[in-house]
Structures are given as structure tokens and as C-alpha cells.
Homo-oligomer: A and B are copies of this chain.
């Protein structure tokens, strides 16, 4: 592999001069500059960013740990994060969080001496949070947060949970099934808390047999669908803790011959783009901004990287209801 030492020898100058040609060309005489550039072209020399990182103690790299892309929420946030970071001179190492190797993922990220970490993989109680803090690397969590309540960007999940449930209850539904994810995750915990508060406010009891916790995989969602089919009193509404879950439940219900919302109402949370598609038209709750949580988080993180002073970031965006076509008043027969 060609190095700047090779270029120097070929051009008849010092390695220092080659480095100056690339980095501070104004400090190099024109004839010398041309001679070195010709050598660079001739030898097809490309500087080594890893060696540079060693010297300058920065990598211009950010590590992203996203949720899985079968959730369109993460499709949108991943796009925003990668594009914004690239536009600001950062490379992005992407990882999709998987519980079975998250430790290896974190280890790999720390070894890479990244300049920042943006993640949506943290649990309410997670020992990694302390390690993140001790590492000294600027980091931010999006769509999730640690119980310490630091360094996060999120929507108001409790408010979202409340609005969605309150809306269904206001339509007359009381046989509502909750389909969510693990309550060790702040997103689901917050939305479930809101769900409970809405029921309490409306004086309606929550029936535990109608609460389904899943790992949000298609497989477990299908099992949940089958369980709901077996209920003595079938639900009249599905409260899905995310739009991804809602869209997947729609698939199961429509495939089974149900009409949405005539036979069953379905609501989600997140307000993902695909939910606005004319053949889906998902009623949902989400933030009003055109900027998604990933965009907000990466902009905040890059500020943190540049400014080196780390005020504690705590951003919680308000939400609102987006009433579309997958919900209607409970049919009375």
C-alpha cells in the first residue's frame, strides 16, 4: 500500500512536505505543490484515515445502535441519522440491536474510539449506561431512555399512551387489547403507563387478559393475534404500542377476513410515513414535527461532540393524535 513516505521519495521532497500539500497547501511553494500532486496521482496515493486518527485522537466516526428495520420508525431515523452525519463529515458505524450479542456490540464500539454514540438500545435498568458515562464519549439515546433520565431524545410516551387509549375509550371501545413490547424498555413502559392512566381517568377497568407483551417480532405478534381470537369476548379495538405493531396486526386481521375499522379498530403510536399510505391510513399518535427523533438526536449529538461541554440533554417532545381511517366508533348491534 502506497504511503506518504513513498510519495515523498518519488517526488523528491520530505514526508512533512507531502503532508503539508494535502493539509496546508498554502504553506507550500507552487512548483513543489505541483510536483507532489503529480506524484500522488501517479502513485494513486490515498491517505490512511486510521493512521491520521491515531495522531489526531479523533476518528470522525459515530456509532449508531438502531432498533430493527422491520419497524419503519427505525427506517426513518436511520436515514436521517446517516444522512445528517455524512453531511457533517462523520461516518456512521451501524448496528441493529440484538439482545443476544449486545455486549459484543458495545465492546466493538468502545474499541473503535468513535467520537460519539447514538443509540436506541438501552433499557430502563442497564449497566451499560454507567460504562457509557465513564467512557467520556459523547452519547445520546433516542426513543428510549435510562432510568437516570439523562442524555435522551424521546416523545412523551406517557402522553402518547394516554391520548391513544383515551381516544379509543371516547369512541366507546372498552374491549381494548394492548399489544406492546417489554416493559423494561422506557418507550413501552411510558406508553403503558399512559394507557393505564386513560383507563383510570375514564373509570374503566383494565382486564389483564387483554394485555399482551411481545418481543415485537412477527412471530410473537401472530401468536398474540391467535390468542386474541380465542378470547371469549373478542376485542373491538387493538391498541398497538407502535405503528409497526399496528400495521402488522392489520395484516393479520385483514388476512383473517376482518374489515378495519368496521370489524375492529386499530391504533398505533409513532406516526410513521407508511402509516399515511392510502391503503393503510393508520390512526396514530406521534410528534408533530417534520423532524423525526433520530434527526433531533443526531443534531444534538454532533453539537455535543463539537462543544465538548456536555450539559445534560433531556428532550421530550409533545405528541398529538392523528385521526385517520383505522378507527371508528364501536359498532353496537
Contact = CB atoms under 8 A, between A and B. Distances in A.
Interface in A138-172: none
Contacts of A253: 278
The number of times this chain is found in the oligomer is 2
Contact of A93 (B51, B53, B69, B92): B92
Interface string A229-256: 0000000000000000001001111110
6 contacts: A54-B54, A78-B94, A83-B98, A86-B95, A86-B105, A87-B101
A37 interface: no
A87 B104 CA distance: 10
Interface string A49-64: 1110110010101000
Interface stretch (A27-35, A106-114, A202-210, A310-318): A106-114
Interface string A81-97: 01100110001111110
A255 B278 contact: yes
Interface in A96-126: 96, 98, 101, 105, 108, 110-113
A contact residues, range = 35 or more
Given A61-B93, A78-B94, 11 more contacts: A49-B108, A49-B113, A50-B53, A54-B54, A69-B69, A69-B75, A86-B96, A87-B101, A247-B277, A250-B279, A251-B278
A25 to B, nearest CB: 17
Interface string A291-329: 000000000000000000000000000000000000000
Give the most central of A49, A51, A95, A135: most B CB within 10 Å: A49
B79 A112 contact: no
